[in-house]
Chains A and B, each alone.
Chain A
Amino acid sequence: MTKLWRRHRWWLTPTLLILPAAVLFSVVILASAVESLWISLHEWDGFSPMVWIGLGNYRELFADPQFYVSLKNNLIWLVMFMLAPPLGLAIALLVNQKIRGMRLLKSLFFIPLVLASVAVGVVFTWVYTPEFGLLALIFRTFGATAPAVLSDENFVTFAVVIAALWPQIAFCMVLYLAGLNNLSEDLIGAGRVDGARGWNMLRHIVLPQLTQVTFIAIAVTVVGALRSFDMVSVMTSGGPFGSSEVLAYQMFEQSIFSYRFGYGAAIASVLFVIMAVFIAWYLTRMIRADERGG
Chain B
Amino acid sequence: MTFKWIEKPSTRRNFLKGAGGISAGALAGFPMPALSQSSEVTIISDENNADALRILRRIAADFEKQSGTKVVINNMDHEAHKTAIRNYLVAGAPDVCFWFSGNRMRAFVTRGLFDDISDLFEKEKYKDVLGATTGAVTVDGKQYGLPTGGTMWGMFYRKDVFAEHGLTVPATWDEFLAYGQKSKAAGLIPVSMGTKELWPAAGWFDQMNLRINGLDKHFALMNGKMAYTDPVLKPVFDHWEELIKQGFFTPDQTSFGWQEAGAFLAQKKAGMMNLGAFVKATFPEQDLEQLTFAPFPKIDGALDRYEEFSVNSVHIPANAKNKAGAREFLAFFYQPENFGPYLEPGGNVPPRNDLPASKDPLVNAAVESLKTVAGTSQYYDRDTDPDMAQAGLVGFQEFMAKPERRDAILQRLEGTRRRIFKI
In the complex, what residue of chain A is closest to B113 when comparing beta carbons?
A47
Establish whether residues A47 and B252, one from each chain, have CB atoms under 8 Å apart when the complex forms. Answer: no
Establish whether residues B386 and A259, one from each chain, have CB atoms under 8 Å apart when the complex forms. Answer: yes
A191 in the interface, Cβ–Cβ < 8 Å? no
Q: Which of A12, A48, A253, A260 contacts B111 (CB 8 A)?
A: A48
Establish whether residues A150 and B255, one from each chain, have CB atoms under 8 Å apart when the complex forms. Answer: yes
A129 in the interface, Cβ–Cβ < 8 Å? yes
B193 in the interface, Cβ–Cβ < 8 Å? no
Establish whether residues B397 and A240, one from each chain, have CB atoms under 8 Å apart when the complex forms. Answer: yes
Q: How far is the CA of A48 from the CA of B251 in the complex (A)?
A: 42
Chain B 69-110 per-residue mask, 1 if CB under 8 angstroms from chain A, else 0: 000000000000001001001100000000000000000000
Query: What residues of chain A lie closer than 8 Å to B391, measured between beta carbons?
Result: 258
Query: What residues of chain B lie closer than 8 Å to A259, measured between beta carbons?
Result: 86, 386-387
Chain A 254-266 per-residue mask, 1 if CB under 8 angstroms from chain B, else 0: 0011111000000
Say what secondary structure dominates the interface of chain A.
Answer: loop
Q: How far is the CA of A40 from the CA of B129 in the complex (A)?
A: 48
Q: Which of B111, B198, B260 contacts A47 (CB 8 A)?
A: B111
Establish whether residues A239 and B254, one from each chain, have CB atoms under 8 Å apart when the complex forms. Answer: yes
Q: Which of A4, A46, A130, A256 contacts B255 (CB 8 A)?
A: A130
Query: What residues of chain A lie closer than 8 Å to B255, measured between beta carbons?
Result: 128-130, 148, 150-151
Given contacts A47-B90, A239-B254, contact A12 B15 (CB under 8 A): yes
Establish whether residues B398 and A46, one from each chain, have CB atoms under 8 Å apart when the complex forms. Answer: no
Establish whether residues A241 and B252, one from each chain, have CB atoms under 8 Å apart when the complex forms. Answer: no
In the complex, what residue of chain B is closest to A46 when comparing beta carbons?
B86
Q: How far is the CA of A177 from the CA of B86 in the complex (A)?
A: 47
Query: What residues of chain B lie closer than 8 Å to A256, measured between beta carbons?
Result: 83
Q: How far is the CA of A118 from the CA of B403 in the complex (A)?
A: 32
A173 to chain B minimum Cβ distance, whole angstroms, is 31
Q: How far is the CA of A128 from the CA of B397 in the complex (A)?
A: 19
B168 in the interface, Cβ–Cβ < 8 Å? no
B196 in the interface, Cβ–Cβ < 8 Å? yes
A8 in the interface, Cβ–Cβ < 8 Å? yes
A139 to chain B minimum Cβ distance, whole angstroms, is 14
**Residues of B381-408 whose CB lies within 8 A of A:** 386-387, 390-391, 394-395, 397-398, 401-402
Q: How far is the CA of A256 from the CA of B79 in the complex (A)?
A: 11
A237 in the interface, Cβ–Cβ < 8 Å? yes
Query: What residues of chain A lie closer than 8 Å to B113, measured between beta carbons?
Result: 47
Establish whether residues B394 and A241, one from each chain, have CB atoms under 8 Å apart when the complex forms. Answer: yes
A242 in the interface, Cβ–Cβ < 8 Å? yes
A196 to chain B minimum Cβ distance, whole angstroms, is 52
In the complex, what residue of chain A is closest to B393 when comparing beta carbons?
A257
**Residues of A110-140 whose CB lies within 8 A of B:** 128-130
Query: What residues of chain B lie closer than 8 Å to A148, measured between beta carbons?
Result: 251-252, 255
Establish whether residues A130 and B251, one from each chain, have CB atoms under 8 Å apart when the complex forms. Answer: yes
Query: What residues of chain B lie closer than 8 Å to A257, measured between beta carbons?
Result: 386, 390
B197 in the interface, Cβ–Cβ < 8 Å? yes
For the A-B complex with A47-B90, A47-B111, A148-B252 known, give 5 more contacts whose Cβ atoms are closer than 8 Å: A46-B86, A151-B253, A240-B397, A257-B390, A260-B387
Q: Return 19 A-B CB contacts under 8 Å, by A number.
A: A12-B15, A47-B86, A47-B89, A47-B111, A47-B113, A148-B251, A148-B252, A150-B254, A151-B254, A236-B196, A237-B198, A239-B198, A239-B254, A239-B397, A240-B195, A240-B254, A241-B254, A257-B390, A258-B386
Residues of chain A having any CB pair with chain B under 8 Å: 4, 8, 12, 46-48, 60, 128-130, 148, 150-151, 236-237, 239-242, 253, 256-260
